[in-house]
């Protein structure tokens, strides 16, 4: 299989059919490698929509199948709905040169109504999917309450044929999505509740997802340290922060896996890079600094309460990353 092209190595679980019953290639489905994109800002902390398209073009040219906007790396909770709408609209320009580049909007908020409006906006604009955290302020909410929240979000904001993903990141959000809750939502909305982004980094959770749902649930791994492990447990792809810096490594892992090969050395290298960058968190701050240093792409500052990474720490991180590569 070493001579096969990537497009000929498509897992049958990810094939879709068009109106004539013919397979639609993976480039038009949702599986693949996504960057958890940074959000470009001006020096006064206002959004910089004009800086977004060059950044998305950069990601597409380096092998990303798509990008997630306004996730954790994109400082999503720091932006008002009207601000997000402006940038989501600007992102559509990527399709002029990369028509198959997929766009996913993170639309979750502790406010149900705000989440509904943001999700509606994403689909009205033509985004490929939306992704929502649980209402993270209420960290003790029971599964019954979370089910009611997501059920209303899906019923009121997700049209037929559209896909909503849950976002499992308990370490950051303070609240997660149990396997039982996911199963209830999948049973209630078998086509609209399409899957999950799992940023927990928990190998056991990845196994449980694969065992429970098999290929009927699109799981995107959000932790660079366990991508192969997640793929072996039926994950549909990866959606991570450092993809913005190292997407060719992610694509190597992904492409190799489609050909039945585990790129173990690449996974180990990626894990080491991720561990190094993690020591200089928060991710939005260090990632923006590294994007300038490594690729010459300046997306501006982070928005308070985040602060820029001190230059001496950026330099130290750059040196450590170079020693890995």
What pLDDT sits at residue 29?
81
On whether residue 187 sits in a domain, the answer given is yes
How distant is the alpha carbon of residue 158 from its chain centre? 19
pLDDT tens track for 109-145:
999 999 999 999 999 999 999 999 999 999 999 999 9
Residue 136 located in a structural domain: yes
**Structural domain count, the chain:** 1
Which two three-digit tokens encode residue 14? 């990810």
Query: Does the residue 301 lie in any domain?
Result: no
Q: What's the rounded mean pLDDT across residues 7-32? A: 45
Q: Is residue 312 part of a domain?
A: no
- Say if 87 falls within a structural domain: yes
Q: How many other β-carbons are positioned within 10 Å of the β-carbon of residue 246?
A: 23
User: CATH number of the domain that 186 lies in?
Assistant: 3.20.20.70
| pLDDT reported for residue 21 | 45
Residue 59 lies in a domain: yes
Q: What letter does residue 96 receive in the DSSP assignment?
A: G
Tell me the mean pLDDT in the region 169-186. Answer: 95
Backbone angles phi, psi at 24, to 5 degrees: -95, 135
**Residues of the domain holding 73:** 19-261
Evaluated on CA atoms 269, 274, 279, 283, the torsion sign reads: positive
Decide which of 188 and 216 is more confident.
Answer: 188
- Would you tell me how many other CB atoms lie within 10 Å of the CB of residue 279? 11
* High-pLDDT (> 70) share of the chain, %: 91
- DSSP, res 234: T
Burial of 293 (0-12, 13-18, 19+ CB in 10 A): middle
The rounded distance, in Å, linking the Cα atoms of 27 and 11 is 12
Question: Does residue 188 lie in a domain region?
Answer: yes
Consecutive H or E run containing 32: strand 32-36
pLDDT at res. 15: 40
Residue 279 belongs to a domain: no
Mean per-residue pLDDT for 261-283?
A: 96
What was the pLDDT predicted at 321? 98
Rounded to the nearest 10 degrees, how much is the dihedral formed by the CA atoms of 4, 23, 254, 164?
180
The residue among 255, 232, 290 whose CA lies nearest residue 63 is 255
Q: Read out DSSP for 137-195?
A: T-TT--HHHHHHHHHHHHHHH--TT--EEEEE-HHHHS----HHHHHHHHHHSTTTEEE
Instruction: Report the distance separating Cα 65 and Cα 220, nearest Å.
Output: 13
């Amino acid at each position: 299989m070493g001579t096969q092209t990537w497009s000929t190595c498509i897992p049958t679980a990810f094939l879709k059919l068009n109106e004539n019953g013919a397979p639609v290639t993976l480039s038009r489905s949702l599986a693949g490698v996504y960057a958890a994109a940074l959000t470009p800002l001006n020096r006064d902390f206002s959004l910089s929509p004009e800086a977004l398209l060059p950044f998305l073009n950069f990601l597409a040219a380096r092998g990303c199948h798509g990008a997630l906007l306004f996730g954790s790396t994109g400082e999503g909770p720091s932006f008002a709905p009207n601000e997000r709408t402006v940038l989501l609209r600007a992102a559509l320009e990527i399709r002029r040169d990369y028509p198959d580049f997929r766009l996913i909007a993170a639309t979750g908020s502790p406010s149900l109504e705000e989440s509904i409006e943001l999700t509606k906006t994403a689909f009205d604009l033509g985004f490929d999917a939306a992704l929502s955290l649980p209402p993270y302020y209420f960290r003790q909410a029971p599964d019954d309450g979370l089910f009611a929240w997501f059920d209303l979000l899906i019923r009121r904001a997700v049209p037929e044929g559209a896909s909503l993903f849950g976002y499992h990141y308990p370490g950051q959000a303070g609240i997660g999505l149990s396997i039982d809750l996911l199963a209830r939502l999948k049973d209630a909305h078998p086509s609209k509740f399409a899957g999950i982004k799992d940023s927990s980094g928990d190998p056991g959770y990845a196994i449980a997802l694969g065992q429970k749902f098999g290929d009927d649930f699109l799981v995107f791994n959000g932790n660079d340290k366990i991508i192969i492990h997640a793929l072996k447990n039926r994950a549909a792809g990866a959606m991570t922060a450092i993809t913005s810096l190292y997407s060719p490594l992610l694509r190597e892992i992904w492409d190799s896996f489609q050909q039945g090969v585990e790129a173990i050395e690449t996974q180990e290298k990626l894990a080491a890079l991720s561990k190094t960058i993690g020591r200089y968190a928060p991710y939005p701050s260090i990632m923006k600094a590294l994007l300038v240093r490594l690729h010459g792409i300046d997306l501006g500052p982070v928005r308070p309460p985040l602060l820029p990474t001190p230059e001496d720490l950026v330099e130290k991180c750059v040196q450590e990353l170079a020693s890995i590569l």
